[in-house]
A and B are shown apart, each in its own frame.
Chain A
Amino acid sequence: MRPELWRRLLPAWPVALLAAAAAVAPWLPGNPYRTDLGAVFTAPSAAHWMGTDGLGRDVASRLAHGARVSLTVGFATAAGAILVGLPLGAVAGYRGGFWDAAVSRVIEAALCFPALLVAVAILIDPPAWLRALPDPLRVAAALAALGWTPAARYLRAEFLRLRGSEAVLSARAAGAGTLRIVALHLLPRSLGPVLVSAAFGASAAALAEAALSFVGVGVSPPTPTWGAMLLEAMRQSGRAWWLALFPGLALFATVYGLNGLAEGIRDWLDPRPQHR
């Protein structure tokens, strides 16, 4: 028997935990910006659960604030990817023919670019309208620039499969217009795979955000991000293990949890035998 949905969503608990930490971060006792030159590189203790960094800032509090950036970028990228990918995939799958060929070629072309490098290029010198956005949303937009392809591909495949189905045929026979068929009959049935791709996309975006901060083009300092914290850990080359351990673990938990969430939804939607 297939387990219920809530069981499938259990692997996402680290994300829920980090999201809670992110939500309450401004009201937590620590201050992620306060430097204390009398207490630099102190190992984890009762006062600083995860130690302090090279400026004496509290790592635990920076970690909680970093969760805000990572999760915002992750979910905003997934939302942006759906915003771009949904209409393109819908047109390709529903209209077929020329539209399908055109969208498919563009998707193929987009897959040929190294996504991280394109994001770096966009963020080095962003256009004016991007510059106006807050940092995390700007990073998300740069990542969504190429991140929309899975959503478009999955929706296209679903629409292609469903557009000849009896449900759609009978709706059309009853006089439903294109918009009504797409909105009421096709979209609700196709959202599963899109949701799965969004969860995978959010995890990839969280990783990419850390990579961008790590090479110094992501969210600008002194805003704490996990990538920037790892960059500082590298500059200390292993002298303070807690600097590398905790942000790395947080990132790991986020990606692991989001992927678990995606797989949970996928397995729950998939009527085929399990263990896939």
Chain B
Amino acid sequence: MSRVGRIARRLGTYGITLAIVTLIVFLLTAAFPGDPLEDEADHRLPPEYRHALRAQLHLDDPVGVRFARWVTDLAHGDLGVSSRERRPVATILRERLPVSIALNGTAVALIILLAAPLGIAGAWKPGSRWDRIARFGTTALYAVPVFWTALLLQGLFAVRLAWLPLFGTSSAVGISAWSRAADLARHLVLPVTCVALGGLAYVSRFVRTALLDATGGDGGRAIRARGATALRYVTHHGLGQAAVPLLTLAGFLIPRVVSGSLLVEEIFNLPGIGTLMFDSVMARDVPVIAALTLVTGIVTLGAVAAADLLAAWADPRVRRAA
């Protein structure tokens, strides 16, 4: 098969997965019991007004019709209208995304910066004292719940020492843009630390295992026998082969980060997508829930597909088949 054909085939596979994701999101939201007009306050509305509202929100259409309308709207970039806030979901997302991107982007950058050297150090001499210490540390770190870390850090740095703010995103109004940015950064130190500590253990262990799998076989022994130094052996030979599982991991890290940031945003009271998701689930705001899960799914799938295509491109067996 030609290279283009192979890539097209892979993309087709991800198209099918995307369709399944979309269907699951819709079925989940369709199965959600109750609808936004079942509150007591809504029952006190005049019946004709209630019926008009139900028709306007398409609450009584058959499931198939609703699914078709939903997908058509999505294809036009229309994420729907929040039933809680009566505003377009896209507008709400635009307001909420910056905080979450600042929080999770910084955390993921930190995770990569710290996890790569930790994982490489472990895979360098497996079983060495340094490796055992790092393994114990990361296993222990993995077992610490993120909300416990948050409590501890809040108690120490915000309450006892009062170095950093306890929660929120700003502590003053009417200050210049520059000091507002500095203020936001101060507010994000503890939440970023919490998210990063949670992911660090997972990622560094994965880096180590992927590197060991890549360098553990006969090929690795041959390279070592040829006199490659340990560092060169890991960075030149291991990383290339380990790149594929690592890139795929980066993709599937996204839903984990979203789950983790839900807790962290709740604890630190940050107006991000985690708190938005939680409030929406609590208020049964189905359009927002559907949009958020779908966006998470699409971003994840996009990252995984990109990793897969990069892997296909990087793999000499696939490249030569062209």
Contact = CB atoms under 8 A, between A and B. Distances in A.
Interface of A: 101, 105-106, 108-118, 120-121, 124-125, 127, 203, 207, 210-211, 214-215, 230, 233-234, 237-238, 241, 244, 248, 251-256, 259-260, 272-276
Given A116-B259, A117-B262, A252-B144, A234 B139 contact: no
Nearest to B296: A114
B20 A105 contact: yes
Given A109-B24, A238-B159, A251 B145 contact: yes
A113 to B, nearest CB: 6
Nearest to A215: B266
Nearest to A207: B145
Given A237-B159, A252-B143, 13 more contacts: A109-B24, A111-B252, A113-B255, A118-B28, A120-B262, A237-B166, A238-B159, A251-B148, A252-B140, A252-B145, A259-B143, A272-B216, A275-B131
A53 to B, nearest CB: 15
A244 B155 contact: yes
A273 B221 CA distance: 13
B143 A256 contact: yes
For the complex of A and B, the 5 pairs showing the least CB-CB separation, nearest first, are: A238-B155, A275-B127, A255-B143, A116-B259, A112-B297
A112 B255 contact: yes
A207 B198 CA distance: 12
Nearest to A231: B147
Nearest to A211: B263
Given A125-B284, A230-B151, A251-B145, A274 B127 contact: yes
Contacts of A211: 145-147, 263
Contacts of A253: 143
A117 B147 contact: no
B142 interface: yes
Interface in B230-267: 252, 255-256, 258-259, 262-263, 266-267
Contact of A124 (B21, B24, B281): B281
Interface string B260-294: 00110011000000000110011010000100010
Interface stretch (B30-38, B63-71, B112-120): B30-38
A253 B259 CA distance: 22
Nearest to A233: B151
A256 B140 contact: yes
Is the contact region of chain A dominated by helix, strand, or loop, or is it mixed?
helix
A105 B305 CA distance: 13
Is the contact region of chain B dominated by helix, strand, or loop, or is it mixed?
helix
Nearest to A123: B281
Contact size class for B? 35 or more
User: Most chain-B Cβ atoms within 10 A of its Cβ — which of A114, A254, A255, A273?
Assistant: A114
Contacts of B155: 237-238, 241, 244
Contacts of A238: 151, 154-155, 159-160
A260 to B, nearest CB: 7
23 contacts: A101-B13, A105-B16, A105-B17, A111-B252, A112-B296, A115-B259, A116-B259, A118-B293, A121-B289, A125-B34, A125-B284, A203-B143, A207-B145, A211-B147, A214-B147, A215-B266, A230-B145, A230-B151, A238-B160, A252-B143, A259-B143, A275-B126, A276-B209
A106 B160 CA distance: 49
A230 B147 CA distance: 8
B278 A215 contact: yes
B300 interface: yes
Contacts of B203: none
Nearest to B213: A276
A259 B139 CA distance: 8
A109 B266 contact: no
A124 B282 contact: yes
Contacts of A230: 145, 147-148, 151
A39 B304 CA distance: 55
Contacts of A118: 28, 293
A113 B206 CA distance: 21
Contacts of B256: 114
A108 B296 CA distance: 13
Contacts of B140: 252, 256
Contacts of B223: none
